[in-house]
């Protein structure tokens, strides 16, 4: 193979990808069989198989048991608004962001005490094994799961207070800023770091994805005078949503 020349399976995958993109192979159309790809492109069975694997890994096609491989419906990405730090006195960030986007979302949650693992302890500035309140969320838009979130709060901050459970009590569901203010902890900064990775099996099961699909992960941490008081992983299916930031200019 000369410099700059693609392997045969990538050239075949690239041509099929173009046909999917321009509508020559529309959604729900059966992908050419392995034998047809071999004949049309003059390649081996191995090359034809690897080309199909590439398209499946990219989420462009899906296998149907006993039927073959078909072009997937490509969803039009929708927007999830992220507006950074908001002052106290309003609803939860999710409610605010959904309202800003003109949609109505719902969520369910479950909280339980846990021990901080290495990654969580580092993000919260605590020791491994320290007690935290772990809350798992499932967010929906019009009944469809759109986002997952897992948050951790150090019980050294919230333990034995009225806001120990994020979604219960008089300030349940009000968001980190208002809840912390109720126990005289003033949140003054929030940091978010966005990355992408293949979704975990349990995440894709909840989000309606298929193995190999990529998810966006927003690592968010709230701070009070430099001390982390809450950190969370927010997981979004990358093929269906875009994370949109609207930040004030100071």
SS (H, E, C) 44-108: CHHHHHHHHHHHHHCCCEEEECCCEEEECCCCCCEEEEECCCCCCCCCCHHHHHHHHCCCCEEEE
Decide the pairing of beta strands 189-198 and 144-154: unpaired
Q: What is the pTM of this model?
A: 0.75
Q: Which segment of 6-15, 152-161, 227-236 scores lowest on mean pLDDT?
A: 6-15
Q: How do strand 78-82 and strand 105-115 relate by DSSP bridges?
A: unpaired
- For the stretch 130-173, pLDDT in tens is 999 999 999 998 888 999 999 999 999 999 999 999 999 888 88
Class of domain 8-71: mainly alpha
How many other CB atoms are there within 10 angstroms of residue 218's CB atom?
18
Domains of the chain, by residue range, sit at: 8-71, 78-245
Write down the architecture of domain 78-245 according to CATH.
3-Layer(aba) Sandwich (3.40)
Q: State pLDDT tens for residues 31-49.
A: 999 899 999 999 999 999 9
The average confidence (pLDDT) of the chain is 87
How many residues make up the chain in this entry?
Answer: 250
| pLDDT at res. 211 | 73
Instruction: Report how many helices (DSSP H) and strands (DSSP E) the chain contains, helices first.
Output: 8, 10
| β-bridge mates for residue 24, sequence order | none
Task: Give the whole-angstrom CA distance, residue 80 versus residue 101.
Answer: 8
Query: Rounded to an integer, what distance in angstroms lies between the CA atom of residue 32 and that of residue 70?
Result: 9
Q: How far apart are CA 202 and CA 175, in angstroms?
A: 26
Confidence of residue 3 (pLDDT cuts 50, 70, 90): very low
């Amino acid at each position: 193979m000369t410099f700059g020349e693609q392997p045969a399976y990538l050239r075949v995958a690239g041509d099929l990808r173009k046909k999917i993109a321009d509508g020559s192979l529309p959604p729900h159309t059966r992908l050419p069989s392995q034998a047809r790809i071999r004949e049309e492109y003059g390649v081996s069975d191995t090359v034809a198989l690897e080309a199909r694997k590439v398209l499946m890994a990219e989420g462009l096609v899906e296998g149907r048991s006993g039927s073959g491989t078909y072009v997937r419906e490509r969803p039009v990405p929708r927007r999830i608004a992220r507006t950074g730090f908001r002052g106290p006195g309003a609803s939860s960030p999710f409610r605010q962001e959904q309202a800003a986007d003109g949609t109505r979302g719902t969520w369910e949650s479950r909280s339980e005490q846990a021990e901080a693992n290495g990654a969580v302890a580092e993000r919260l500035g605590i020791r491994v094994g320290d007690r935290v309140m772990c809350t798992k969320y499932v967010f929906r838009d019009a009944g469809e799961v759109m986002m997952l979130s897992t948050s951790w709060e150090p019980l050294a901050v919230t333990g034995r207070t009225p806001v120990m459970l994020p979604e219960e009590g008089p300030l349940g569901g009000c968001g980190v800023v208002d809840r912390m203010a109720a126990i005289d902890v003033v949140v003054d900064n929030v940091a978010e770091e966005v990355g992408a990775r293949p979704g975990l099996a349990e995440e894709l099961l909840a989000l309606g994805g298929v193995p190999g699909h990529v998810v966006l992960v927003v690592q968010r941490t709230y701070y009070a005078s430099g001390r982390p008081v809450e950190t969370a992983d927010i997981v979004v299916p990358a093929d269906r949503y875009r994370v949109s930031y609207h930040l004030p200019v100071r």
